[in-house]
Amino acid sequence: MSEKESAALHINALREEIREHNYLYYVLDSPDIPDIEYDRLMRELENLEAQRPELITPNSPTQRVGAEPLAAFQQVKHTVPMLSLNNAFNEQEINDFDQRIKERLDLQIITYVAEPKLDGLAVSLRYEQGQLVQCATRGDGQTGEDVTHNVKTIHSVPLSLRGKVPDILEVRGEVFMPKSGFEKYNQQQIAAGEKAFANPRNAAAGSLRQLDPKITAKRPLSIYIYGLGEISAELEVSTHYELLQVLKEFGLPVCPEIQVVENPEGCLAYYQQLGEKRNALPYEIDGVVFKVNEIALQKRMGFVSRAPRWAIAHKFPAHEELTKILDIDVQVGRTGALTPVARLEPVFVGGVTVTNATLHNQDEIDRKDIRIGDTVIIRRAGDVIPQIVSVVKSRRPKKTQTFHLPERCPICDSDVERDEGEAIVRCMGGLFCSAQQKEAIKHYASRKAMDIDGLGDKLVEQLFDADLIKNVVDLYQLPIADLIKLERMGEKSASNLLQAIEKSKHTTLAHFLYALGIREVGESTARALAEHFKSLPAIMVADLETLQSVSDVGPIVAKHIETFFKQAHNREVVEKLIAAGVNWPAIVVSSAKQALEKKTFVLTGTLSSMGRDEAKAKLQTLGGKVTGSVSKNTNYVIAGSDPGSKVAKAEKLGVKVLDETEFNSLLEHPEEFV
């Protein structure tokens, strides 16, 4: 085989591959490779054809735009072709672009219009006598698809233009789906069990190509106009920027980020500026477009076969790339959530090298049919955690491995649990699992739990990082000699902390239950459990049916409690806490409790003899209900100093107000206040 024949085979194979991607991208709206990979294929073909110009054919992808239009729509012949743009990927290519223009025009200074390169679907809107009569997609640049009825459903597209406009005015623009609308729409799709869009560009294209305009009308689409097609009378403008302002006056939406810049330095500064704010923009962009501003100079520059010589698209680093899944690991978060993470073949995307991507949960893995060994499209936008967009199933090897989350925690071997209707799977070894220890200790020490004064989040982090504590039991074994070695921890502070820890040993069963951090067991549920069972051993051995006999405990919470105490590790930690001296008084049901069971109290102001939480706890121990606002159903308002407006409201409603002395009497003799 000759060298020419070998080159011809290579070029033809490359053309066929690009044609297939054109069909997937433009016709089916279902690309299976990211834009950066498509750009590489096009550049390779362009380079090969440059080396072998005798092999260039009229139907080569380099000689036209896009692919054939959909047969389901009427075809529209563009009176002025809708051309594509050449791409630049670095500063040197922008400098080269500017230099070519200056040499061709024999000028030293060129002004450009700089605008975001919107990631949507290019369309042409035709107005006659100021009325919208037709809208067509780009198609192959010569012939597009008639999507008039669908475009009319987009609120940002004016059906009638303002002011005196040419009899025929054809404008070009980009239909896109804003980020907020895209996220909301995808959430609705997933909730309904329907397929989600891969990205806003696919969402816009798929929405515009619906045969039923009612479906398009439900999609949050928008449009920005960026240029002209056919026009029956020239507008009195000399620059492209002036043209956009006139179109804006006609009522056509124009992107607000458009600027006039000078020479390549101005272009590159704009590119940098827009790149920095890219993630904050309400729509997706994949680069910047630079156009010679002077219309007369545009005409002098002219066109090549598929693009104007006077414009170029400067692409941003890819948000999407291709890579392979080497393996899938499971991470356990601080709240016990198990998250599958894909280990990737390293790939440069969004300005950084990515080796991992979150897979969120098992439902997401199943929905996208992600397997170990798959080739996938990876996306990274700004600081967003890299995510897998979709699997390139055409590149799936014969032997791939499906993945399922483990039934036991990979960190501590405790049971894992998934609530009905939830996607998240959680480890139930909260007191033991090393992945959850910091959060478990912070919760245990909090004011409404064991109330260890001075042991805040930062100090927990410090103690943990210094390897002085690994779980809640270690709090009761802290030596003062090690504490005073910590930064900003003197002997006095260390002594105060140890005293607070010692004080926490004397608590209530309700506070202890809450401190354990059992999922969905809050203060109210912990108190209900304590009052119902009256002892910890009774709670630890209770089955689901028995647990659900407690007010405030349903089947889900009962399952959390039962599973928590089934873990040997959790039981061991509880036993060690009790052995360390944690204790509480036995719960005795008194006749006084029965006396206040149906009474409602409101606390206001400052009590001198106790804190508000303590006062609340004492009332609840006696059976009272404590609320935050005064109503006609309130029985008593307890008023300390500086009580505020609640006293006035109580008096207005005829609710009895007790001062602190009367409150203390109520606590001692509740039966007298029935």
- Give 593-625 pLDDT, tens digit per residue: 456 777 889 999 988 888 887 788 778 777 788
* Confidence bin at 383 (pLDDT 50/70/90): low
Report the distance separating Cα 587 and Cα 535, nearest Å. 8
> Is residue 66 over pLDDT 70?
no
Report the distance separating Cα 276 and Cα 349, nearest Å. 16
Under DSSP, is residue 602 helix (H, G, I), strand (E, B) or coil?
strand
Report the distance separating Cα 149 and Cα 107, nearest Å. 46
| Residue of 30, 86, 231, 208 whose CA lies nearest to 136 | 208
The CATH code of the domain at 427-579 is 1.10.150.20
Bigger pLDDT: 259 vs 66: 259
Q: Which CATH superfamily is domain 76-315 in?
A: DNA ligase/mRNA capping enzyme (3.30.470.30)
> Is residue 673 over pLDDT 80?
no
Is the pTM for the entire model greater than 0.85?
Answer: no
Report the distance separating Cα 614 and Cα 339, nearest Å. 40
> pLDDT tens digits, residue range 361-375?
999 999 999 999 999
> pLDDT tens digits, residue range 69-80?
555 788 999 999
Structural fold of domain 591-673: Rossmann fold (3.40.50)
> Is residue 538 over pLDDT 60?
yes
| Residue of 500, 547, 543, 515 whose CA lies nearest to 528 | 547
| Residue of 299, 278, 295, 282 whose CA lies nearest to 350 | 278
Q: Which part of the chain has CATH 1.10.287.610?
A: 3-63
Q: Which part of the chain has CATH 3.40.50.10190?
A: 591-673
| Residue of 165, 98, 90, 184 whose CA lies nearest to 126 | 165
Query: Which of 220-234, 269-283, 431-445 bottoms out in mean pLDDT, i.e. has the lowest?
Result: 431-445
Bigger pLDDT: 514 vs 434: 514
* Confidence bin at 592 (pLDDT 50/70/90): very low
> pLDDT tens digits, residue range 123-161?
999 999 999 999 999 988 899 999 998 899 998 998 889
- Contact between residue 613 and residue 448 where contact means Cβ atoms under 8 Å apart: yes
| Residue of 443, 445, 446, 409 whose CA lies nearest to 428 | 409
Under DSSP, is residue 389 helix (H, G, I), strand (E, B) or coil?
strand
> pLDDT tens digits, residue range 301-319?
998 877 899 999 999 887 7
In the set 117, 315, 324, 442, the catalytic residue is: 117
> pLDDT tens digits, residue range 47-64?
998 898 888 876 688 865
> Is residue 239 over pLDDT 80?
yes
Angle between helix axes 555-566 and 568-579 (nearest 10 degrees) is 70
Query: What long-range pairs does 475-480 form, CB within 8 A, spacing at least 24?
Result: 475/441, 475/444, 475/445, 475/501, 476/501, 476/505, 476/577, 476/580, 476/581, 476/582, 477/580
- Contact between residue 53 and residue 46 where contact means Cβ atoms under 8 Å apart: no
> Is residue 198 over pLDDT 90?
no
For position 407, what pLDDT does the model report?
Answer: 92
- Chain center to CA of 54: 51
Q: Which part of the chain has CATH 1.10.150.20?
A: 427-579
> What mean pLDDT is reported for the chain?
88
Cβ-proximal residues to 634 (8 Å cutoff; 6+ apart), any chain? 600, 601, 602, 627, 650, 653, 655
Catalytic residue at 117? yes
Under DSSP, is residue 580 helix (H, G, I), strand (E, B) or coil?
coil
- Contact between residue 626 and residue 602 where contact means Cβ atoms under 8 Å apart: yes
The CATH code of the domain at 3-63 is 1.10.287.610
| Residue of 530, 469, 524, 540 whose CA lies nearest to 501 | 469
Quick one: the chain helix, strand, coil %, rounded to 5?
Answer: 40, 20, 40
For position 563, what pLDDT does the model report?
Answer: 92
The CATH code of the domain at 320-395 is 2.40.50.140
| Residue of 456, 463, 476 whose CA lies nearest to 573 | 476
Positive or negative torsion for Cα 50, 53, 57, 58? positive
> Is residue 431 over pLDDT 90?
no
For position 487, what pLDDT does the model report?
Answer: 84
Kind of pairing between the strands at 311-315 and 87-88: parallel
> pLDDT tens digits, residue range 240-279?
999 999 999 899 999 999 999 999 999 999 999 999 899 8
For position 571, what pLDDT does the model report?
Answer: 92
For position 71, what pLDDT does the model report?
Answer: 59
